[in-house]
């Protein structure tokens, strides 16, 4: 349940992206006191049969924490003691971005989340797994993908763990033809670049969260999946019509890592880039 590991030998992996700071670490049994200035989501990848917690000025208790559990910390201070080796991911959320997404979703300016321990929420845990993968690969999915994960995480938290009975008023109105043409032209022109949802949203004069919903309502895919689809289609054209080395094809469509390109290409096409070229 740790956000910042105490053991220097734990070698945590940590990265800060727009709106979120992610940390992954493995630690021996121990204890820690955490002072928090923003909401933190913790995901547990190794079971804890017996963990002790105490909130400053609040309650305390002993709990079992199964693998796959998540904890949502919104209190200023919490102390934990754990008795088995820990394997965790923690996601510290930017409260300014959270508040902006709350406004975009029609929830007003307050984005206060409940403090919840040992949640069984497969969606939150799955998002934590995806962030862990990005940590381990150095953010190989790119800014567009990480931004999409962050938005999805915050909307899920606001929808299910907001400290209010106010319901989300999701606006899924589609984009108009002019906006879609602008966005498609931008994507085609900038396929080799690491652009973000915010860059696309600016073309439509929408907030990133509103844009992502409206884009999916119009196209049928989230922005990051549509962009991936276009990158693969462009790569197929380059493989057939040019003799560019595969590494250069990857760079031309926005992949800085040849292995990641090959994996995504095979996932989409069912063949490696070389096999696809050879078959055409």
Same domain, 191 and 146: no
Of the candidates 130, 161, 192, which is a domain's last residue?
161
What domain range includes position 156? 8-161
Same domain, 17 and 150: yes
Same domain, 241 and 139: no
Q: Is residue 122 part of a domain?
A: yes
Same domain, 146 and 12: yes
Same domain, 61 and 157: yes
Q: Is residue 154 part of a domain?
A: yes
Q: Which residue has the tokens 């845990």?
A: 125
Q: Provide CB contacts within 8 A for 264, sequence distance 6+.
A: 228, 231, 232, 255
Of the candidates 161, 193, 213, which is a domain's last residue?
161
Q: Which CATH number is 34's domain given?
A: 2.60.120.10
Of the candidates 161, 187, 202, which is a domain's last residue?
161
Q: Which CATH number is 231's domain given?
A: 1.10.10.60
Same domain, 269 and 133: no
What's the pTM?
Answer: 0.76
Order of strands, edge to edge, in the sheet holding 48-55? 30-35, 77-82, 48-55, 60-65
Same domain, 21 and 150: yes
Same domain, 31 and 104: yes
Q: What is the pLDDT of residue 212?
A: 87
Q: Is residue 129 part of a domain?
A: yes
Q: What is the pLDDT of residue 4?
A: 45
Q: What is the pLDDT of residue 50?
A: 86
Tell me: the pLDDT tens digits for 29-67?
998 888 899 999 999 999 998 888 888 766 788 888 999
Q: What is the pLDDT of residue 215?
A: 92
> Phi first, then psi: what are they for 35, rounded to 5°?
-105, 120
Q: What is the pLDDT of residue 35?
A: 86
Q: What is the pLDDT of residue 3?
A: 45
Q: How many domains does the chain have?
A: 2
Q: Is residue 183 part of a domain?
A: yes
Q: Is residue 250 part of a domain?
A: yes
**pLDDT < 70 positions in the chain:** 1-11, 57-58, 109, 163-173
Same domain, 122 and 207: no
Same domain, 152 and 92: yes
Contact 19, 42 (CB under 8 A): no
Q: Is residue 172 part of a domain?
A: no
Same domain, 147 and 215: no
Contact 73, 36 (CB under 8 A): yes
Q: What is the pLDDT of residue 6?
A: 47
Q: Is residue 267 part of a domain?
A: yes
Q: Is residue 167 part of a domain?
A: no
Interior CA angle at 201 toward 195 and 203, to 5°?
Answer: 95
Burial class (CB in 10 A: 0-12, 13-18, 19+), 44: buried
Q: What is the pLDDT of residue 167?
A: 45
Radius of gyration of the chain (CA): 21
Same domain, 231 and 207: yes
Q: What is the pLDDT of residue 57?
A: 60
Q: What is the pLDDT of residue 169?
A: 47
């Amino acid at each position: 349940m740790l956000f910042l590991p105490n053991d220097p030998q734990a070698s945590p992996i940590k990265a800060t992206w727009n709106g979120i700071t992610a940390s992954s670490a493995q630690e021996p049994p121990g204890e820690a006191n955490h002072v928090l200035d923003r909401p933190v989501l913790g995901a547990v990848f190794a079971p804890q049969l017996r963990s002790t917690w105490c909130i400053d000025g609040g309650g305390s208790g002993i709990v079992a924490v199964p693998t796959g559990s998540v904890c949502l910390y919104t209190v200023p201070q919490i102390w934990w003691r754990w008795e088995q080796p820990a394997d965790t991911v923690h996601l510290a959320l930017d409260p300014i971005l959270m508040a902006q997404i709350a406004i975009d979703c029609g929830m007003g300016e307050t984005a206060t989340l409940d403090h919840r321990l040992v949640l069984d929420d497969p969606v939150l845990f799955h998002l934590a797994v995806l962030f862990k993968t990005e940590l381990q690969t150095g953010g190989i999915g790119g800014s567009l993908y990480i931004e999409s994960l962050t938005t999805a995480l915050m909307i899920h938290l606001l929808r299910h763990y907001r400290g209010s009975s106010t319901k989300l008023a999701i606006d899924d109105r589609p984009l108009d033809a002019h906006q879609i043409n602008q966005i498609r032209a931008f994507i085609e022109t900038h396929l080799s670049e690491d652009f973000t949802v915010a860059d696309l949203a600016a073309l439509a004069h929408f907030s990133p969260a509103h844009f992502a919903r409206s884009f999916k309502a119009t196209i049928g895919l989230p922005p990051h999946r549509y962009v991936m689809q276009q990158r693969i289609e462009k790569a197929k054209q380059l493989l057939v019509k040019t003799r560019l080395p595969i590494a250069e094809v990857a760079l031309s469509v926005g992949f800085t890592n040849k292995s990641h390109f090959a994996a995504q290409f095979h996932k989409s096409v069912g063949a490696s880039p070389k096999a696809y070229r050879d078959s055409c």
